[in-house]
Amino acid sequence: MELLLPGRFEDPVEAYGYVRTIFDQVASGERPATISITPSTRHVGVTRRDTFRPGFADAVRASNEEGYPVLVRGSGGGATAAGPGTFGFSIIRPADAGEAKRGIHDRYDEAAALALGAFGRLGVRAEVGEVRDEFCPGDHSLRVGDRESGMKLSGIAQRLTRRATSVGGIVLVSGERELTLVLSRVYGALELPFRPESVGSLRLAGSEATTEDAIEAFATEAAARYDASRVPLDDLTLGLAREAGEEQLVSNPGGGVGTSVRRKS
């Protein structure tokens, strides 16, 4: 298994295109099973389902007013927000015979185990479980505290196709106040439940780790669990990422997805 640590992209469009490109490369057999751990750029990630909600245009405008471009991701769940204090991780595998035998819950459990192991390396004790009125709600959120009043450190989502699978999420290290502001506006526009106190971070959980520290903890945990080898990111993949990302940017308040606007984080 390969371990990709590409560093922080300057452009959220390129960052989203990178995730899609790695998935496509694994699906086509050009790249083996891969774990990717990537610092975030400032953006709001929505699902295709979100784009059909009546308040979506207002949500896009609100997000853009806060300086967050909106991109459509391939996995399920709900709207998420990311910034300099967050990072994403993904476990991507070809959908071969062995992977076909695994269920959805197996993949959720695998991603949660990786994250909890990394949190343990940082001295943070967390558990799997939904948090009341959280962003991107799900049974496999990683939380500190209980369902009623706890806070979310990470959400986990999956993408499944006939050729590849991906499971992973965004980890909140710091910057939770800014994320809470934009998420409050987005969920308010979408008329979906949201409790601001549900937005947590490793910082609020008592950790002094930087985003880079947390990424290294995830990389060390991945290497220990999968014997994953670190590999550099090649120029061809970067070029493909720039092209692929354009298709995921919401480029107008009406909710269309296209290429007319590019915003830096």
Give the domains, in start order, of the chain with CATH numbers: 2-246 (3.30.930.10)
What is Dmax (Cα atoms) for the chain?
47
Classified as helix, coil or strand, 143 is strand
pLDDT tens digits, 203-249: 999 999 999 999 999 999 999 999 999 999 998 998 888 887 766 67
pLDDT tens digits, 14-35: 888 898 999 999 999 999 999 9
Cα gap 100→54, rounded to integer Å: 36
What pLDDT was estimated at residue 248? 67
Residues of the chain with pLDDT under 50: 255-265
164's enclosing H/E stretch is strand 164-172
Record the pTM: 0.90
